[in-house]
A and B are shown apart, each in its own frame.
Chain A
Amino acid sequence: MNKSDLLAEQIREISGVNPKKCMKCGKCSATCPSFDKMDIKPHQFVSYVDNDDIEPLTKSKSLWHCLSCFACVERCPRGVKPGKLIDAARQIAERQRGGDYLTPDEIPELFDEDTPQQLIVSAFRRYRK
């Protein structure tokens, strides 16, 4: 398994999403409020993961423009959950930058200009329990 395959596998595992379920209807992109700001659109995100093509994703601006509103997750007719994929890709990107898990205690020190707010929002969602 090369590095990209491994990353794709990690994204699938973290998100619990099987991109093979996608029937390419585009409802995720139709419903996305941040669509215009994204370079890789939500529906493309799914096929990038399916094709194990991860590097463009971790470098894409979309990662930090996703609001994690999960409209795509709610409305996807196939249960593919593109929003969760983006969440997972964000986590991979953060790990590559050296960070790993986020605990509430760490939040204050993370609050600087460079940390995208979306990351904290989704981290809260993930670790709220």
Chain B
Amino acid sequence: MPMNDNAEFRPKIVAFCCNWCSYAGADLAGSSRLTYPADVKIIKVPCSCRVNPMFILRAFEKGADGVIMCGCHPGDCHYSTGNYYARRRMTLLFSMLDYIGVEHGRTRVEWVSAAEGVKFSATMNEFVEKIKSLGKNVRLGDLRCRS
């Protein structure tokens, strides 16, 4: 195995999951014992539309290396239209993040239904790999938060 610089790098990853689909999908991944790296920590929100872009900026500011948001598939939102709002907001936020130098790969939106444990785990594995390849997030980190 070739050693690379990031072999020891363990990223901090925040995952926002909606209560109805993705959080349940993560539960299914758990009960099906489908592993993904422990770097991913899930925060439950009622709907993807509850995710304020501010939360994502805050995560990066506090030293997160990647943020992923998961919601119900388009058309399947428990609140009818929440994920559409979320999708639009994230599109705008991600292009802004890109503009200020936070690589596109550090943010991701994925639709995971309650039955898609396999997809949840696969997505998280992929995302962690991606973040590992990008390395530590140096932009947006609040210097005052550094230890």
A–B contact (CB under 8 angstroms): no
A residues whose Cβ falls under 8 Å from a Cβ of B:
none
Residues of B in contact with A (beta carbons under 8 Å apart): none
